Amino acid sequence: MDEAYIATVMDRLDRKVTRMIDQIGEKCPHFAGVDGKYDSTGTDWWTSGFWPGLLWLMHDMTGGTQYRDAAWHWDETLERWFSREDGHLHHDVGFQFLATAVIKHKLTGDGEALRRGLTGANYLAARFNPAGGFIRAWNGDHYGWAIVDCMMNISLLFWASETTGDPRYRHIAIRHAETTLQYGIREDGSVKHILSFDPTSGEYLENFGGQGAAADSSWSRGTAWALHGFANTYRHSGDVRFLNAAKRIAHYFVASLPDDHVPYWDFRLDTFENEPRDSSAAAIAASGLLEIADAVPDKEKHGYLAAAHRILHSLTERYATWDEPEHEAILLHGTGHKPQNHFVDGSLIYGDYYYAESFAKLSGWKHRMY
């Protein structure tokens, strides 16, 4: 993919996302099925930051005021859930507030956005279990659970440390990353989804399959979360352990891809016949591969860049909806939770976000929110 190709895709995204503003309206989009229409989830749902995040990204890249205007209210909307007993905010406040309050503050200097971002960071830090060294996942009675997805959320803590000068946020983020590295990453670079600890002693107990096919399988989006998350952690910490982890996971991810470079929903299925792909895993991994390429010496860059380009070219030419102007999403063939048959083989807003993020990075985007 040369500069002209990348510029063409960014132009397509400009036209597509502008159209999505009118199509999506006041919805909080998450999944679009065969009808091409995004659903509308509660604004406390973990994916609620990705649509405004996409809008802020496009505002930053193009200067278009339509994106800023549509994104402006989202951090205020999300903040209201902190004071509601019926809300479901949990470890994914990183996804939610990085893509709303943090990027809004970076781009506009808005003081209320800064306050809301720090509120989210405080909430995330309060979920830290010091005995086990992990940030607790979800709510309910699973006090000892941590999940690989949270490697992406800890960027909110790094940002909070950089913004306030308080190292405690950073300490928690690094400790969580160390625990995930120790217990969540297998020697071959595959990852586990759910880790279970004794919440009192901190002792590691076991892992569960979660959104993967089984406890010993290899959920492709979880692999992508880990790849991108460890690359982000290296960028924020400078600790080479995390870069090496990101590289190991990346090598496994790329080596496991099918011919068109877009993974099935799990890398370790008995058969791939009639199994759905997950374009969101591909987009997340591509963005993470670009992070690695940005971090390694020049002699290593080509392999990671080439892998990201292959994935993004395939998504652009085989999985995108450019020729379907009425379709409300960018990418097709994403899979959310196959074991429960939820959100299977459709469009996912986070797939759209990380696809656009990847091309923004290729275009020189500086205001990374993760």
Gap between the Cα atoms of 135 and 314, Å rounded: 35
Catalytic residue among 60, 75, 149, 278: 149
Cα–Cα distances in Å, from 88 out to 81, 102, 138, 246, 364? 8, 20, 8, 30, 36
CB atoms within 10 A of CB 94: 30
Catalytic residue among 44, 75, 92, 345: 92
DSSP state of 200: T
Q: What is the pLDDT of residues 87-106, one digit of tens each?
A: 899 999 999 999 999 999 99
Q: What is the pLDDT of residues 281-313, one digit of tens each?
A: 999 999 999 999 999 999 999 999 999 999 999
Q: What pLDDT, on a 0 to 100 scale, did the predictor assign at position 38?
A: 98
What is the rounded average pLDDT of the residues 119-148? 97
Residue 75 is a catalytic residue: no
The percent of residues above 90 in pLDDT, for the chain, comes to 97
Residue 39 is a catalytic residue: no
Q: Which residue carries 């590691």 as its tokens?
A: 204
Gap between the Cα atoms of 121 and 157, Å rounded: 6
**Confidence class of residue 167 from pLDDT cuts 50, 70 and 90?**
very high
Q: What pLDDT, on a 0 to 100 scale, did the predictor assign at position 363?
A: 98
Mean pLDDT of all residues belonging to the chain: 98
Gap between the Cα atoms of 133 and 216, Å rounded: 23
With 0-12 / 13-18 / 19 or more C-beta atoms within 10 angstroms meaning exposed / middle / buried, residue 33 is middle
Q: What pLDDT, on a 0 to 100 scale, did the predictor assign at position 366?
A: 87
CB atoms within 10 A of CB 324: 11
How many CA atoms lie less than 13 Å away from 334 in the CB half-sphere? 31
Q: What pLDDT, on a 0 to 100 scale, did the predictor assign at position 265?
A: 98
**Residues whose CB falls within 8 Å of the CB of residue 340, separated by 6 or more in sequence, listed in order:** none
CB atoms within 10 A of CB 130: 9
The beta-strand segments (E) located in the chain are: 31-32, 128-129, 134-135, 145-147, 194-197, 204-208, 347-348
Q: Walk me through the domains of the chain, giving residue ranges and CATH numbers.
A: 3-362 (1.50.10.10)
Q: What pLDDT, on a 0 to 100 scale, did the predictor assign at position 86?
A: 84
Helices (H) and strands (E) in the chain, counts: 15, 7
Q: What is the pTM of this model?
A: 0.98
Q: What pLDDT, on a 0 to 100 scale, did the predictor assign at position 87?
A: 84
List the beta bridge partners of residue 342.
337
What is the rounded average pLDDT of the residues 210-228? 98
The pair of structure tokens assigned to 217 is 């399988």
| 368 pLDDT more than 90 | no
Q: What is the pLDDT of residues 177-218, one digit of tens each?
A: 999 999 999 999 999 999 999 999 999 999 999 999 999 999
Q: What pLDDT, on a 0 to 100 scale, did the predictor assign at position 266?
A: 98
Q: What pLDDT, on a 0 to 100 scale, did the predictor assign at position 367?
A: 87
Q: What is the pLDDT of residues 231-288, one digit of tens each?
A: 999 999 999 999 999 999 999 999 999 999 999 999 999 999 999 999 999 999 999 9
Q: 316 with 332: CB under 8 angstroms?
A: no
| 85 pLDDT more than 90 | no
What is the rounded average pLDDT of the residues 138-158? 97
Nearest by Cα to 339 from 223, 211, 209: 211
Q: What pLDDT, on a 0 to 100 scale, did the predictor assign at position 370?
A: 83
